[in-house]
């Protein structure tokens, strides 16, 4: 007999809607029209206004012929237009390609071409890069300048129209359409491409919706959070938080520049409740002038990721009264997809021990189906012994649609039904994963694997060290040896010998740096230390 | 040119998983294995244990040949086995049909036949009903007795095996499989069928997952809530809360009987943070002995629905220190799908005004795509004037899959791409809907529509009245007139003349009851007043 539960019960417009983050802003605007949506310097919008501005943008894009599958590129700081583009572009079926603002002109030009950009929204502050990019690119997108009234610095207008004029011509009641399929692309994010050309990671509406909701669930975010935009919106679409904040009808506090003076001021002025940032941002806050921190109410919640935060950083943040939430993910997983879920039983532990537990990457997001640490050769799971390294693999609805126009890379990344992260980790007996290294970062010395993160976590505990990064240095005898690049705190002093001795007290000798270089560390705009630059330097030593 | 975002980027096992609530319990058990999952009298389970018990149940069902599309019926109080069935049955692809425990034997027998039940789990307390049902039914399901060790009352075993023995034979590590399609049925819930035969509402995995998550989002539920099971699990699968509590790795405090002594005791003993209940449950708590309430910490959160709560009930609950969340939905919408979302601007209003605002049904859940009040003839929206009545229509992913083996009813309910609720409402200028009546409850007197809910809300404000229900009474001159059935508070006194005079002070005269009957009100097991019984009585007056 046929299964009666599958007979005559089809999807209809009444009981099936493709999921999309666009329904989140529609609700925020209809239920909380008068609530503040976006604050940027002296500018302040309500949800009704932001929604209307997004619809104007969509309407104006549609009038230029932009529709399903068309790429709208963007080079901008965390300003209102950037937020609005996260909705307005998708409202016409377009794909938002928010580009890393630290890239140089040729790199941005490569992306414009690869993405086939039809529109290019350019923040005036970034016009020099954009101009160079356009000179290098073959595509000739419509260029729209964003001449932010809150920005008075250098830069020029490159296009024929300014953003406010462009959207002013649009219809604030524009009847945007739901995507006809939740698998449709919503955005395109290029990997940082530390080697070779970057790859274009495609997100779809289903995944963006689920991760937006997942962020709120995992973080236990209440309605109406006040969210500070320390994290770049170009980084995995701000880890999907533009859509999360719409879901919770919160306040987006814009931030053009990651600067501790600004950050502490905005936190105090607007009563910020949540923000995100790479560990380097946290380090910056920890080491900021104590005066800046005066009057800050404890309990501000911060989600950190982008690199494994040293336990010392977590500890210092907690001492300052911040609640740390540690997540992990990649561009390919819509940003965060793993969370270092907390256990009440750990509350009474000493702070250093709590920080050590918190520093582990953790367990899958609810919205992720599974995470495993496997041997990529055999696809067998490593034992949960906190020792055996394997590659972190993801599976579920918040894994990317794939790489744009790169079937080979997509197939390789998705081989055997799992997304291969390239990150090496161990599995703890309690099921939590902990990253040991990127595959390409691992140091192999005398046949032994050395996790650079493990060495760095020791360096961060040294009282004089502000920041540290360890890479492989070629060695005739050992193959490779660890080479440490460190930045000392203001006014602090230490010698290479002292630092190596400190490491020997806390690490197996073969893991200790043979070389210590005192320097500033090169970083990407998202705060990731550029180890490939350091590796080049180490080779040249 | 082909859209490059749709080329070579298919769904694969790496980036697509059918959504299912089963992934919620897998995570609770793997991340929080030692956390308490279920408390029932002296019984207490952890998430690792509950998950293992669910897998045992699934394994034992599979051994009996139960698989995809097979119905497992259940007649039970809110006990651990009932909770476990919400996962164990779906783990083999089965469909859980949890039956209203207040139905009589023939009605349950009708359901067993219509659902094609292959297994019937029977709480010993309900064996009399089950026995009668089996005698009336044509199907011969495998009967499994649940002989709850915490239950010492009357009842007999009907089948060959007891639940604990049945699952003891199952494998606690049973490798259950994800549904191959998120559109697959997960449960079957019969409408209360106040007239005619009940209809079987089919839920699917996608909707159950989304509403489970939606409950947590809308309620701003933190991780690890302590949830008291005042709401029957057979009612729309406990509004999807069995799955919500797994998602949040909370504690399920079981409750065999809705009794204020038990409820206040469990609240205090286990530190209950959340519960759900129909307004009649709230009325029971409000009118309970003051001694019971001593020592209860304020701030317990209650979600109420199932009938529009009179403002007076909301006000009294808030005075007792409870936080009210008012939601609305139907069996066909997985329970709650609309929420009376709160605005901070309403906080300073007088309590009575706040209660009036809170009593409105409100706005769509995030997970619902749209709710509209429309003229069912023209499918045009009513004006947002708080006056014009129309039918509430739903659209989105938390609308049922359809009615089992009833294509005609399914097609009618889903006509024109909207689910027709049969509830009449007005739309307020702020976009909130407020129910005026069920289509069949409305009173038409002298050509004027009278909302029985509006009359009842006035009656509830009368100091002597505990509960009230208004129905139509046939009238030669007016067609119909309002007839009020009221229950007075313990020791309170009032006459019909006084009550009618009170109504005239607060209502247009034509809306006031012409007749007042002092009586206990007949109710369904979910606390809904059975107006069809009262209509019969009114006709006979």
Say yes or no: A23 contacts chain B, CB-CB below 8 A: yes
Q: Which residue has the tokens 């809360």?
A: B241
Q: Which range, of A147-156, A479-488, B55-64, averages the lowest pLDDT?
A: A479-488
pLDDT of residue A307: 65
A1 has pLDDT over 80: no
Lowest mean pLDDT of A49-63, A484-498, B45-59, name the range.
A484-498
- DSSP-assigned beta bridge partners for residue B10: none
Q: Which residues pair with A357 in a beta bridge?
A: none
A212 touches B at CB < 8 Å: no
Measure in Å the smallest separation between the Cα of A160 and chain B Cα atoms: 27
Residues in chain A, overall count = 541
Instruction: Specify which residues B145 forms β-bridges with.
Output: B122, B162
Q: Residues near B515 by Cβ (< 8 Å), separated by ≥ 6?
A: B473, B481, B482, B483, B484, B496, B538, B541
What confidence score (pLDDT) does residue B183 get?
Answer: 96
Last residue of a domain, one of B388, B419, B438: B438
CB of A472 closer than 8 Å to CB of A465: no
**β-bridge partners, B424:** B391, B437
Cross-chain Cβ contact A15/B401 below 8 Å:
yes
* Cβ within 8 Å, pair B402-A15: yes
Q: Residue B481 pLDDT more than 80?
A: yes
- What is the pLDDT averaged over residues B443-472? 87
The whole-number average pLDDT for the span A366-386 is 95
> Burial, A501: exposed, middle or buried (Cβ in 10 Å; 0-12, 13-18, 19+)?
exposed
**A417:B13 CB<8 A:** yes
Q: Could A402 and B9 be called an inter-chain contact, meaning their C-beta atoms sit closer than 8 Å?
A: yes
Smallest CA–CA distance, residue B248 to chain A, in Å, is 8
Cβ within 8 Å, pair B69-A3: yes
**Looking at chain B from residue 289 to 328, which residues have their Cβ under 8 Å from any Cβ of chain A?**
none
Q: Kindly state whether residues A277 and A185 are assigned to the same domain.
A: no
Structure tokens that stand for A133 in this block: 């990019």
What local confidence, expressed as pLDDT, does residue A73 receive?
98
Is it the case that residue A195 has pLDDT exceeding 90?
no
B423 lies in the same domain as B519: no
Mark which residues 39-98 of B lie under 8 Å from A by CB: 68-69, 95
Max Cα distance, chain B (Å): 81
Give the ipTM of the model, two decimals please. Answer: 0.87
Q: How confident is the model at residue B462 (pLDDT cuts 50, 70, 90)?
A: very high
Q: Is A139 on the interface with B (CB under 8 A)?
A: no
What CATH number is associated with residue B489? 3.30.300.30
Helix, strand, or coil here: B506? helix
Closest-CA residue to B109 (of B87, B129, B92, B126): B129
Task: Answer yes or no: is pLDDT of B476 > 90.
Answer: no
Return the CA Rg of chain A: 24
pLDDT band for position A313 (cuts 50, 70, 90):
confident
Q: Order the strands of the A479-488 sheet from edge to edge.
A: A465-475, A479-488, A515-518
Do B189 and B46 have their domain in common? yes
Instruction: Name the closest residue on chain B to residue A201, using Cα atoms.
Output: B5
Interval A357-378 mean pLDDT: 94
Chain A CB contacts of B247 under 8 Å are 217, 366
Contacts of A345 in chain B (CB under 8 A): 34
User: Are residues B296 and B362 part of one domain?
Assistant: yes
Q: Which residues of B touch A21 (CB under 8 A)?
A: none
Q: CA dist A320 to A211, A287, B175, Å?
A: 29, 11, 46
Last residue of a domain, one of B373, B403, B438: B438
| Residue A295, token pair as written in the block | 């009057």
Indicate the length of chain B as a whole number: 541
Determine the residue of chain A that is closest to B30 in CA distance: A431
> What is the rounded distance in angstroms from the CA atom of residue B303 to the CA atom of residue B240?
13
Q: What pLDDT score was predicted for residue A359? A: 87
Answer whether A19 touches B (CB < 8 Å).
Answer: yes
Residue A469: pLDDT above 60?
yes
> Which letter, b or e, does each residue of A119-138 get, where b requires 16 or more Cβ atoms within 10 Å of its Cβ?
bbbbbbbbbebbbbbbebbe
Whether residue B9 and residue A68 make contact (CB cut-off 8 A), yes or no, is no
Inside any domain, residue B70? yes
**Collapsed DSSP state (helix, strand, coil) of residue A447:** coil
Parallel/antiparallel/unpaired status of strands B335-339 and B323-330: antiparallel
More confident residue, A229 or B377: A229
Distance between CA atoms of B57 and B53, rounded to whole angstroms?
Answer: 6
Q: E strands of A104-160, at which residues?
A: 117-123, 142-146
Query: Is B535 in the same domain as B512?
Result: yes
Q: How confident is the model at residue B17 (pLDDT cuts 50, 70, 90)?
A: very high
Mean pLDDT along residues A153-160: 95
Residue A139 is predicted with a pLDDT of 98
Residue A226 domain-assigned (yes or no): no
Tokens of B294: 């001593």
Tell me if B470 sits within 8 A of B461, measured CB to CB.
no
Residue B53 has pLDDT above 90, yes or no: yes
Distance CA A541, CA B286 (A): 78
Calculate how close chain A gets to B335, using CA atoms only, in Å: 14
pLDDT, one tens digit per residue, over B371-417 is 999 999 999 999 999 999 999 999 999 999 999 999 999 999 999 99
Distance CA A340, CA A324 (A): 10
Q: What is the mean pLDDT of chain A?
A: 93
Say whether A419 sits in a helix, a strand or coil. strand
Cβ atoms of A389 and A426 within 8 Å: the answer is yes
Alpha-helix runs per DSSP H in A460-509: 496-506
- Which of 362-401 (B) contact A at CB < 8 A? 363-364, 366, 369, 394-397, 399-401
**Predicted pLDDT of residue B18:** 97
Task: Check whether residue A154 and residue A27 sit in a common domain.
Answer: yes
Please give, rounded to a whole number of angstroms, the shortest distance from the CA of B165 to a CA of chain A.
30
Closest-CA distance of chain B to residue A394, Å: 7
For residue A17, list chain B residues with Cβ-Cβ distance below 8 A: 369, 395-397
Model confidence pLDDT, tens digit, residues A115-156: 999 999 999 999 999 999 999 999 999 999 999 999 999 999
Cβ contact, residue pair A14, B69, below 8 Å: no
| Cα gap B88→B67, rounded to integer Å | 11
Contact with chain B for residue A17, Cβ under 8 A: yes
Are A142 and A119 in contact by the 8 Å Cβ rule? The answer is yes
pLDDT digits (tens, 9 = 90+) for A105-118: 998 999 999 999 99
Quick check: B226 and B251 in contact, CB under 8 A? yes
Q: Which residues of B touch A417 (CB under 8 A)?
A: 12-14
DSSP SS3 for A88: helix
Residue A213, chain B, CB below 8 Å: the answer is yes
Residue A92 has pLDDT above 90, yes or no: yes
Rg of chain B's alpha carbons, rounded to an integer?
Answer: 24
Strand partners, A202: A188, A402
Q: Does A180 touch chain B (CB under 8 A)?
A: no
Residue B487 three-state SS = strand
Q: What percent of chain A has pLDDT over 70?
A: 98
Q: What average pLDDT does this structure show over A454-467?
A: 91
Q: What is the pLDDT of residues A16-37, one digit of tens each?
A: 999 999 999 999 999 999 999 9
Hey, what are A10's tokens? 């089809």
Same domain, B428 and B474: no
Provide DSSP, A188-253.
EEE---SSSS--EEEEEHHHHHHHHHHHHHHHTPPSS-EEE--S-TTSHHHHTHHHHHHHTT-EEE
Beta bridge mates, B514: none
Is residue B6 a contact partner of residue A69, using CB atoms and an 8 Å limit?
yes
Whether the Cβ atoms of residue A224 and residue A253 lie closer than 8 Å to each other: no
Does B175 contact A at CB distance below 8 Å? no
Q: What is the mean pLDDT of residues A435-454?
A: 80
The Cα–Cα gap between A105 and A134 comes to 8
Average pLDDT score over chain B? 93
Residues facing B303 on adjacent strands: B276, B325
**Which two three-digit tokens encode residue B239?**
């509004």
For chain A, say whether B24 makes contact (Cβ under 8 Å): yes
Are B467 and B280 in contact, with CB atoms under 8 Å apart? yes
Task: Quote the CA–CA distance of B141 and B75 in Å, as a whole number.
Answer: 13
Residue A494 has pLDDT above 80, yes or no: yes
For residue B252, pLDDT beyond 60: yes
To test the contact with chain B by mutation, choose from A3, A15, A223 the residue with the greatest count of B C-beta atoms within 10 A, namely A15
* Whether residue A191 has pLDDT greater than 90: no
Residues B88-133: tens digit of each pLDDT:
999 999 999 999 998 889 989 999 999 999 999 999 999 999 999 9
Residue B273: the pLDDT is 97
- Interface residue of B14, B22, B427, B428 to substitute, partner A, most A CBs within 10 Å: B14
Same domain? A519 vs A460: yes
pLDDT surpasses 60 at A483: yes
Query: Which positions 458-517 of B are in contact with A (Cβ < 8 Å)?
Result: none
In contact, A265 and A290? CB cutoff 8 Å: no
What is the phi/psi pair of residue A340, to 5°?
Answer: -85, 70
pLDDT recorded at residue A40: 98
Contact status of B429 with chain A (Cβ, < 8 Å) = no
Burial track B272-294 (b if 16+ CB lie within 10 A, e otherwise): bbbbbbbbbbbbbbbebeeebbe
What band does B526 get if pLDDT is binned at 50, 70 and 90? low
Asked if residues B304 and B278 have their Cβ atoms less than 8 Å apart, the reply is yes
Name the band, by pLDDT with cuts 50, 70 and 90, for residue B196.
low
Cβ distance A366 to B15 less than 8 Å, yes or no, reads no
For tokens 């509006």, the residue is B454
Find the CATH number of the domain harbouring A340: 3.40.50.12780
Cβ distance A113 to A137 under 8 Å? Answer: yes
- Indicate whether B98 belongs to any domain: yes
Q: Is residue B66 located within the same domain as residue B175?
A: yes
Option in A30, A95, A401 nearest B15 (CB): A401
| Predicted confidence (pLDDT) per residue in B136-177, tens digit | 999 999 999 999 999 999 999 999 899 999 999 999 999 998
CA A376 to chain centroid, in Å, comes to: 25
> Which of chain A's residues have a Cβ under 8 Å away from the Cβ of B34?
345
Within-domain flag for B233: no
Choice among A168-177, A213-222, A499-508, B525-534 with the minimum mean pLDDT? B525-534
In a domain, A379, yes or no: yes
| Lowest mean pLDDT across A91-95, A128-132, B36-40, B317-321 | B317-321
Please say if the pLDDT value at position A171 is more than 90: yes
Distance (Å, whole) CA B374 – CA B423: 11
Domain boundaries, position B64: 22-208
Q: Which of A1, A4, A5, A186 to mutate to test the interface with B (most CBs of B within 10 A)?
A: A5
Residue A235 pLDDT class (50, 70, 90 cuts): very high
Q: Does A9 touch chain B (CB under 8 A)?
A: yes
Give the pLDDT band of residue A315 (cuts 50, 70, 90): confident
Cβ within 8 Å, pair A68-B16: no
Using alpha carbons, list the distances in angstroms from residue B131 to B50, B76, B144, B322: 29, 14, 12, 41
Q: Do B434 and B449 reside in the same domain of the chain?
A: no
| A68 CB-near residues (< 8 Å, 6+ apart) | A92, A93, A94, A184, B3
Report yes or no on A331 lying in a domain: yes
Section A51-76 average pLDDT: 98
Paired with A445 in beta bridges are A448
Looking at the structure, tell me whether residues A498 and A521 fall in a common domain: yes
Tell me how far apart the terminal alpha carbons of chain B are, to the nearest angstrom: 76
Closest residue on chain A to B71 (Cα)? A5
CATH number for A183:
3.40.50.980
Quick one: B449 and B421 in the same domain?
no
pLDDT greater than 90 at residue B303? yes
| Number of domains making up chain B | 3
Range with the poorest average pLDDT among A152-161, B198-207, B328-337, B351-360: B351-360
Among A215, A247, A267, residue at a domain's last position: A215
Q: Taking 80 as the threshold, does the pLDDT of residue A164 lie above it?
A: yes
Place of tokens 């879920």: A341
How far the first Cα of chain A sits from its last, in Å, is 76
**DSSP letter string over B264-306?**
HHHHHHHT--EEEE-HHHHHHHHTS-HHHHTTPPTT-EEEE-S
Q: Given this model, what pLDDT does residue B147 score?
A: 98
How do residues B114-125 score in pLDDT, each as one tens digit?
A: 999 999 999 999
pLDDT band at A526 (very low <50, low <70, confident <90, very high): low
3-state SS record for A263-323: HHHHHHHHCCCEEEECHHHHHHHHCCCHHHHCCCCCCCEEEECCCCCCHHHHHHHHHCCCE
What pLDDT is stored for residue B306 in this prediction? 64
Q: Compute the count of residue pairs across chains A and B with CB atoms less than 8 Å apart.
A: 160
* pLDDT band per the 50, 70, 90 thresholds, residue A306: low
What are the strands of the beta sheet with B95-98, ordered from one edge?
B161-162, B142-146, B117-123, B71-75, B95-98, B185-190, B200-204, B402-403
pLDDT band at A480 (very low <50, low <70, confident <90, very high): confident
* Per-residue confidence (pLDDT) for residue A309, from 0 to 100: 75
- Tell me which chain B residue has its CA closest to the CA of residue A248: B217
Give the pair of three-digit tokens for residue B34. 């030692």
For residue B364, give the chain A residue with the closest CA: A27
Q: What's the CA gap between A241 and B374, in Å, rounded? A: 35
């Amino acid at each position: 007999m046929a299964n009666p539960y599958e007979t005559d019960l089809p999807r209809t417009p009444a009981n099936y809607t493709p999921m999309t983050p666009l329904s989140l802003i529609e609700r925020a605007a209809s239920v909380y029209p008068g609530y503040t949506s976006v604050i940027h310097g002296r500018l302040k919008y309500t949800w009704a206004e932001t929604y209307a501005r997004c619809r104007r943008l969509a309407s104006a894009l549609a009038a230029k012929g932009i529709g399903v599958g068309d790429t709208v590129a963007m080079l901008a700081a965390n300003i209102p237009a950037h937020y609005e583009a996260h909705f307005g572009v998708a409202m016409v079926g377009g794909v938002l390609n928010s580009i890393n603002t630290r890239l140089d002109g040729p790199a941005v030009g490569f992306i414009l071409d690869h993405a086939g950009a039809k529109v290019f929204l350019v923040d005036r502050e970034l016009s020099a890069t954009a101009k160079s990019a356009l000179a290098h690119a073959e595509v000739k997108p419509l260029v729209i300048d964003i001449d932010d009234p809150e920005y008075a610095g250098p830069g020029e207008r490159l296009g024929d129209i300014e953003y406010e004029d462009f959207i002013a011509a649009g219809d604030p009641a524009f009847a945007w359409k739901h995507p006809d399929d939740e698998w449709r692309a919503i955005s395109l994010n290029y990997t940082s491409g530390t080697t070779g050309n970057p790859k274009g990671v495609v997100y779809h509406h289903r995944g963006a919706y689920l991760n937006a909701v997942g962020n709120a669930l995992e973080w236990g975010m209440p309605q109406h959070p006040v969210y500070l935009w320390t994290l770049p919106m170009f980084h995995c679409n701000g880890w999907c938080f533009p859509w999360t904040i719409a879901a919770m009808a919160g306040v987006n506090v814009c931030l053009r520049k990651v600067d501790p003076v600004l950050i502490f001021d905005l936190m105090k002025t607007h009563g910020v409740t949540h923000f995100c940032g790479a560990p380097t941002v946290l380090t910056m806050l920890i080491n900021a002038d104590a005066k800046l921190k005066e009057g800050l109410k404890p309990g501000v919640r911060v989600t950190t990721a982008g690199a494994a935060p040293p336990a010392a950083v977590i500890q210092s943040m907690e001492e300052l009264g911040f609640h740390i939430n540690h997540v992990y993910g990649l561009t390919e997983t819509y940003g965060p997809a793993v969370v270092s879920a907390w256990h009440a039983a750990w509350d009474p532990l000493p702070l250093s021990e709590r920080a050590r537990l918190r520093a582990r990457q953790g367990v899958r997001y609810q919205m992720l189906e599974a995470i495993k640490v496997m041997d990529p050769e055999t696809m067998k799971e490593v034992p949960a012994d906190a020792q055996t390294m394997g590659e972190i693999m993801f599976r579920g609805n918040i894994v990317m649609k794939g790489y744009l126009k790169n079937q080979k890379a997509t197939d390789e990344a998705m081989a055997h039904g799992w997304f291969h992260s390239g990150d090496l980790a161990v599995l703890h007996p309690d099921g939590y994963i902990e990253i040991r290294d990127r595959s390409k970062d691992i140091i192999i010395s005398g046949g032994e694997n050395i996790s650079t993160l493990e060495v760095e976590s020791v360096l961060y505990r040294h009282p004089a060290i502000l920041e540290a990064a360890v890479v492989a240095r070629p060695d005739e005898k050992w193959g490779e040896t660890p080479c440490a690049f460190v930045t000392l705190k203001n006014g602090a002093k230490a010698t290479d010998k002292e630092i190596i001795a400190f490491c020997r007290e806390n690490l197996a000798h073969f893991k200790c740096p043979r070389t210590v270089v005192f320097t500033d560390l090169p970083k990407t705009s998202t705060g990731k230390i550029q180890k490939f630059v350091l590796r080049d330097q180490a080779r040249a030593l």
